[in-house]
Structure 1
Amino acid sequence: MRWKLTGRFLMAILCTVFCVILVNAIIALVFYAYYSSGEEHPASATDFTRTLARYITEVDGEPVISDKGIAALEERNAWLQFLDDNGNVIGNALAPATAPVHYTPVELVHAYKYRDENQVSTFVAEHNDIMYLVGIQDRNLSKIVITSNTSSITQFTAQLALIMIIVDLLIAIIIGFIFSSFLTKPIYRMIERIRMLKNRNFAVDSKHSRGLYRSIFHNLDDVAESLKLQEEERRKLEQMRNEWVSNVSHDMKTPLAAIQGYAELLQSNISTSEQTEYAEIIEKKSVYMRELLDDFTLTMRLRQQEMPLQLVDTNIVSFVRELVIDVLNDATFGERNITFNASIDKLTKCIDTHLMKRALLNFIYNALVHNEEEVILKVSVEEVGGTAVIHIRDNGKGITKADLPQVFERYYRGTNTENIKGTGLGMAIARDVIQAHGGEVELMSELGIGTSVIIQL
């Protein structure tokens, strides 16, 4: 993957270089076409010498230059001499007195190639068999005589262009490789981080990028932290679920063994009274197993928010009062010390009465079942800022600090619940029911002093 990204980046660099070369070639062609067109451009010294021919005529067999030609000579700081076939000067315009009156062929060649001591450059031209010589005084004007072979120039140009292209491509490859290594390195690190997350490795990268990808690496660290917490929670729930399955399997084996044993006894020759007794035992064990499975189903549906609430406007004060009365009417708890108190007569809230009743009874029954018979249980209802606050407190054994944070966890049994029947899901179900109503539950306890459950709706 790393080399694949590097290769793509190099390809992009090469394409960029190719486009630059192509654009440069187009620009060169445009300039060449422009300068090859018939448009007028500032004349060179040679062109100036040739253009003077338009001003030269022959009058009575003698060459003369027009006034416009003389004006052009003055503007260019130049002078002109007419020569015959023998190199003699037969006429001039603006020529200095020191100018030669005769030129040998060698002198003409020397004058054409070099400037004289007065910084005069000489140019020779011919028009209609009239030879003339133009001297231009300009220290910035210089001559370069080049002789070349056209075929060698073409070959040289082609070789030069090929060398330039190769060199440009090599430079582009080197620069592209350097930049691609620099830019793709953090991308490779990102791919590695994602692969680590895929393999459930949630370690945070200590080498943070400070460049373009800084925010991406910070987000990856946040994702790693979140996944790490979720993984820990998943493992914790998985462990607790396994423990619960183990407990349920153990609890199911006992009633199943009893049911099987008593069912076998019913098949033997026994009295009618024994048959009735064994049938009652089988029924009780079956009810316990059904309650266990019902509690498991309910807690799963509540946790996954798949339990639709049948909400009804209910007076919380009378609702809780009736629960306390129902508990007192139960023969098991009829002699217990339970009190109810309310600071108001009516407080209406929208609740699912069936689930809320089960949740509150779980709290009340826990206070009664897990404490001595002399325990005092106080239930109260009050309104605080529009919120219904239900307070259930006892002066029983209390809960240890080690058990307190886990009381509401599913499948958990505290150290003070030995030999107590139940599915181990009551407190978790009660908490989930309260939260499903948008409420909160707070549990406070001190060992040897008692426990308080505060429910806010």
Structure 2
Amino acid sequence: MNIHTRFILHLLGRLILTGFLLLLSLLIIFLFIAFLTMNSAIEKDLTTAEGLYFSDRFEIKEGNATIDEHLQKVLQKQKSWLIILDSKGDIAGSYGAPDSVLSSKHLLSAADEVPFTDIQTWEILNMDDEPSYVMLGKHHPEEQWMSKVQDEVDWGKGEWLLSTKDQRQMKKEGVWIQLTDPDGKVLQAYGDRPPSEDYTYQDLLQLDDPNQTVHQDPLSGNILITGIHPPAEAPISVPIHNGWFIALIVIALLILFSTFWYARNLGTPLLIMVKWIKQLSDGQYSQPVNQVGESTIYKRNGKLKRNYRLYKELFSQLSKLTDTLKSNERHEKKVVSSREEWISGLSHDLKTPLSSITGYAQMLQSDQYEWTPEEIRDFAGTIVDKSAFMKDLLDDLTLVYQLNSQALPIRKEKTDINESIRRSIIYFINTAQADIRFLPAENPLLGMVDRKWFQRILDNLLSNAIKHNRDGTTITISSEAIENQLMVIKIEDDGEGMDAETLSHLFQRFYRGTNTSDSGSGTGLGMAITKQLIELHNGSINVQSAPDEGTRVRLILPL
């Protein structure tokens, strides 16, 4: 899965999770609002409650019930009374219940006889599976006053006569009364409710209210209205409004948290990458670490931490880049060190033949001695050898720079490979103190090579095999074709071999495995040049060697 697809799935997953959390929060808030609304409605009228409401508001211990103080206040506010019965039907506790009901042997019949009272019962299931019962009686004082005032009204005259005691009691209980004619005109009124100028017919139809009672005299048609002011309380919409306010706060916090959380998940890896890149630009080729030196990106087992998996390709490439830069830095240091060593050795190699040339020239120039013709020829031979060595050294340097700058011309042409190998062998066989053997391919081996540089490859390999082995070493050269596509040339000897360090630096420029004080030991560029020439022919070279086990060189080139 590429980073584009993974990024889309990551974003989609976060949106789904955020949406789920948002819906869950809204559901919880709606349930909370419903609970507030239900509680508000119950505390306005206990007859709308369920048994669960009462089960948490009283406790029966050893046959005695303790009623919650809050429930007592609600009962008092609603002018209601409560009786709690145990599983046997015995009274365990009560609040505000009439004595006539409490002293009766038959509670239900006694409660029904209490005037102007509604009776409702609930069965409460307890943890011990023994039920208890709640009996609620709700007084209707407006109906009580309606009955009492009716006896004091002169329906024909449209007036009543109330005693001072009744008026004080009505004021104490918040009761009001009004008497109107059949057309709704207010004839007389008492109480805190202001008299209406007139009741319309529609107003008379809407007089039905839980807190008031209406009676119309069948003879006169006059209407008596009694009512009671409910206790002051917050409207039912207040908890709903508070709930919505809480919902808005929760949603805002959820969105803020989701934004911060998602930004952190996306932004933290980007900040780490920026920090990593800055470290690389400052030459610090390592991963970012925390205060205790542990990687901030990878676990101890080498796996990416969860927050960084979205960008795993980028972190993988940064890790590879870091390793490459670190390797290049080490390699550069080695190259600089090797170059300095090589230049030091090269300076010595140039000084040695140059000193010989200068010394012999000064000897020939001196008039203090008379040199014989044989001595003069011997001096001249030494000068020629040293000059040739210096020329070879300078030629190798020129060739190295040509190879590095890809300026070396390659002219490939069809060549008999076996014949080229024979020429190299003939060149060395007359001077080398080694047993050189050639095992050519059975069929003619024709390849597209640059004859000059291919001959240089063979000469370098044979020269190394002869120069770095003792006299009498057997050197075997063989050639073969592989499916008419590749040719394989092997140069094997049973000589001294090489140690692992020399083998690892064999194709490195500026590295010389032999003593640089010997001017005849070579320039230290031969194998590096050989490898580059082989690669220019689209080939490869492999060398295997061990001390006292000889060396095996395998050269593979396309036919």
Give the TM-score range, shorter chain.
0.5 to 0.7
Q: What is the CA–CA distance in structure 1 between the aligned matches of 2:497 and 2:262, rounded to whole Å? A: 68
Residues 126-275 of structure 1 mapped to structure 2, 5 A cutoff: 184-205=267-288, 206-208=295-297, 210-211=307-308, 213-269=311-367, 271=370, 273=373
Residues 386-425 of structure 1 mapped to structure 2, 5 A cutoff: 386=484, 387-414=486-513, 419=518, 420-425=520-525
The structure with higher relative contact order (CA 8 Å, sep 6+) is 1
CA shift, 1:313, in A, is 0.8
| Aligned match of 2:471 | 373
| Aligned match of 2:413 | 312
| Aligned match of 1:286 | 387
Q: What is the CA–CA distance in structure 2 between the aligned matches of 1:109 and 1:306, rounded to whole Å? A: 117
Q: Secondary structure at the match of 2:521?
A: coil
Contact 1:299/1:432, CA 8 A, preserved across alignment: no
Q: What is the CA–CA distance in structure 1 between the aligned matches of 2:266 and 2:547, rounded to whole Å? A: 62
| Aligned match of 1:160 | none
Q: What is the CA–CA distance in structure 1 between the aligned matches of 2:198 and 2:326, rounded to whole Å? A: 93
Of 422, 447, 450 in structure 1, the residue corresponding to residue 547 of structure 2 is 447
Which is further off, 259-268 or 309-318? 259-268
Contact 1:367/1:377, CA 8 A, preserved across alignment: yes
Q: 1:320 to 1:182 in 2, by over 3 A?
A: closer
CA shift, 1:426, in A, is 1.4
The share of aligned pairs that are identical, in percent, is 32
Q: What is the CA–CA distance in structure 2 between the aligned matches of 1:326 and 1:242, rounded to whole Å? A: 34
User: Which amino acid is 1:243 matched to?
Assistant: E
User: Which amino acid is 2:481 matched to?
Assistant: E
| Aligned match of 2:137 | none
| Aligned match of 2:532 | 432
Contact 1:403/1:415, CA 8 A, preserved across alignment: no
Of 450, 470, 482 in structure 2, the residue corresponding to residue 352 of structure 1 is 450
Q: What is the CA–CA distance in structure 2 between the aligned matches of 1:183 and 1:315, rounded to whole Å? A: 64
Contact 1:444/1:453, CA 8 A, preserved across alignment: yes
User: Which amino acid is 2:532 matched to?
Assistant: D
Mind listing any 5+ residue stretches in structure 1 that lack a counterpart?
1-96, 122-170
Q: 1:299 to 1:120 in 2, by over 3 A?
A: same
Query: How many pairs were matched up?
Result: 310
Cα deviation code 1:31-89 (max 9, x no counterpart): xxxxxxxxxxxxxxxxxxxxxxxxxxxxxxxxxxxxxxxxxxxxxxxxxxxxxxxxxxx
Q: Secondary structure at the match of 1:364?
A: helix
Contact 2:349/2:516, CA 8 A, preserved across alignment: no
Q: What is the CA–CA distance in structure 2 between the aligned matches of 1:391 and 1:417, rounded to whole Å? A: 28
Q: What is the CA–CA distance in structure 2 between the aligned matches of 1:116 and 1:268, rounded to whole Å? A: 153
CA shift, 1:254, in A, is 2.0
Q: 1:248 to 1:417 in 2, by over 3 A?
A: closer
Q: Secondary structure at the match of 2:396?
A: helix
Q: What is the CA–CA distance in structure 1 between the aligned matches of 2:199 and 2:386, rounded to whole Å? A: 134
Contact 2:449/2:537, CA 8 A, preserved across alignment: yes
Q: What is the CA–CA distance in structure 1 between the aligned matches of 2:417 and 2:483, rounded to whole Å? A: 15
Contact 1:370/1:416, CA 8 A, preserved across alignment: no
Q: What is the CA–CA distance in structure 1 between the aligned matches of 2:345 and 2:527, rounded to whole Å? A: 16
CA shift, 1:407, in A, is 2.2
User: Which amino acid is 2:206 matched to?
Assistant: N
Q: Could you state the TM-score of these two structures normalised by the residue count of structure 2?
A: 0.48
CA shift, 1:308, in A, is 2.6
Q: What is the CA–CA distance in structure 2 between the aligned matches of 1:177 and 1:400, rounded to whole Å? A: 61
Mind listing any 5+ residue stretches in structure 2 that lack a counterpart?
1-179, 188-193, 210-253, 289-294, 298-304
Q: 1:111 to 1:411 in 2, by over 3 A?
A: same
Q: 1:452 to 1:214 in 2, by over 3 A?
A: closer
User: Which amino acid is 1:412 matched to?
Assistant: Y
Q: What is the CA–CA distance in structure 1 between the aligned matches of 2:500 and 2:261, rounded to whole Å? A: 61
CA shift, 1:454, in A, is 1.5
Of 297, 300, 321 in structure 1, the residue corresponding to residue 398 of structure 2 is 297
Q: What is the CA–CA distance in structure 2 between the aligned matches of 1:337 and 1:239, rounded to whole Å? A: 38
CA shift, 1:192, in A, is 1.6
Contact 1:317/1:345, CA 8 A, preserved across alignment: no
Q: Secondary structure at the match of 1:403?
A: helix
| Aligned match of 1:100 | 183
Q: Could you state the TM-score of these two structures normalised by the residue count of structure 1?
A: 0.58
Which is further off, 230-239 or 361-370? 230-239
RMSD across aligned C-alpha pairs, in angstroms? 3.8
Contact 1:370/1:417, CA 8 A, preserved across alignment: no
Q: What is the CA–CA distance in structure 1 between the aligned matches of 2:491 and 2:439, rounded to whole Å? A: 11
Q: 1:247 to 1:391 in 2, by over 3 A?
A: same
Q: 1:366 to 1:181 in 2, by over 3 A?
A: closer
| Aligned match of 2:229 | none
Contact 1:204/1:225, CA 8 A, preserved across alignment: no
CA shift, 1:267, in A, is 4.2
